Chains A and B, each alone.
Chain A
């Protein structure tokens, strides 16, 4: 899982509640990403940030928000507008490994709705 940490490992959300997932990296990477993974499926891009104070919507941004105030941190808020938030959320950053630019993933946060 490299130098990327995600917390908490499990998160429970009540109806109408906003929750924030943490993602921190100590790899000095500029670009960071948030993905959603549903059971038995691949990853879908929610938001990404190429540099501090800048971010772009991915393929499924509705109901989510992000901020990028520090290079090391890229928190994701799941808002009450996201009607089906139960999923596994993965954060990644982009860097170089053996002369190839790849993504490094955190261990993930599983979000469940009460």
Chain B
């Protein structure tokens, strides 16, 4: 079964608004990563947060991690139409070998101009 589950499944906002996506997982992790996928394309790595970190920033992206609740959130500030894509969280947990990632089902973000 999928380790990560995103919420909401779909999100539609206006340009300039903030977008928040959430990810929950089931077991202890080494780190949690967020990826972006434009329609019909490969995934692009956005940001990685380690299990001992609580918050991380990269440009307009802000990621938080709450290991007690086994959840993470991705905030995109001042969204643009070009941010329209699917966003996936992926967890790397200690029980697996080969740095396997387990992906959630994603949040489809639509930013309307």
Contact = CB atoms under 8 A, between A and B. Distances in A.
Contact of B105 (A1, A31, A42, A90): A42
A108 B2 contact: no
Nearest to B41: A107
Interface residues of B, number: 24
Q: Report whether over half of chain B's contact residues are helix, strand or loop; otherwise say mixed.
A: loop
A106 B99 contact: no
A17 interface: no
A105 B43 contact: yes
Contact of A1 (B35, B42, B48): B42
B54 interface: no
A26 interface: no
Contacts, number: 62
A26 to B, nearest CB: 15
Interface of B: 2, 4, 33, 35, 40-45, 48, 88, 90, 97-106, 108
Given A42-B2, A42-B106, A90-B43, A101 B98 contact: no
A15 B37 CA distance: 31
Q: How large is the interface on A (under 10, 10 to 19, 20 to 34, 35 or more residues)?
A: 20 to 34
Given A42-B105, A42-B106, A102-B33, A90 B99 contact: no
Nearest to A58: B100
15 contacts: A40-B108, A42-B88, A43-B103, A44-B103, A45-B100, A45-B102, A88-B40, A94-B99, A102-B33, A103-B43, A105-B42, A105-B44, A106-B42, A108-B41, A110-B40
